[in-house]
Structure formats: structure tokens, C-alpha cells
Amino acid sequence: MKQTNTFIVLRNQTGEFLATYKNNFGNFALTASFTDSLEMALVMPIEHYERQREDFEHLASLLEAEPVKVVADYTLTTIDGNELPPIEKSDQLVREFLQRVANGNDED
């Protein structure tokens, strides 16, 4: 099974990615840390970036960083390397689950 995700990260001038940031209470400053690991970077789904583009680009400017679009392809397999079968979601199963939750019934 293959999946593709598209998201935005911030990359600074040394090629590191934004990992954390927070506003400093009581002043106009923020604290940020960067990582060289893309896996540890803060990510924003492309849809959110498109809606908040101006704000995100202001943040990037404050951090002397640039937005970078990442397109990640994932191949999901079982532990032994076989193709992972898709899980079919049944509306009936969802309704039965919600009914059990509403009734407070736990099945072991």
C-alpha cells in the first residue's frame, strides 16, 4: 500500500528544519530550535499553509527561514515485507461501534 503526504516545513540558512518555537512572555521575541532531521521537524499540512500563507511567511521571516514543500511517499508493508491489505471500513461496523459506546457496553 502506498501513501503520499504533502506538507510544509521551515528550513533555515544552514539547512536545518524548525523543530520547536514559542513566544517569550512579556516581550516581542520568540525562542526557536532547529534540527537536521526532517523527521523531527514541525510540519504543516499543505492545505493549512495555503489558508495561512501570509502568517506562515511572516513567521519564516522572523526566524530567517524559508517554507519548503515536502512530498513524502510511504510504502506500507507487513513486518515480513508483504503488501499490506487495505482495511475496508464498513458503515455498519461504525454504527455498531457508536451504538456500543453510547450504551456504555465494552466487549472484550
Each residue of 58-85: pLDDT tens digit?
A: 999 999 999 999 999 988 889 998 988 8
Q: Are strands 17-23 and 30-35 parallel, antiparallel or unpaired?
A: antiparallel
Each residue of 4-17: pLDDT tens digit?
A: 999 999 999 999 99
Q: Exposure pattern of 43-64 as b/e (b: 16+ CB <10 Å)?
A: beeeeebeeeeeebeebbeebe
Is the pLDDT at 108 greater than 60, yes or no? no
Q: Where are the domains of the chain?
A: 2-78+86-103
| Band (105; pLDDT cuts 50, 70, 90) | low
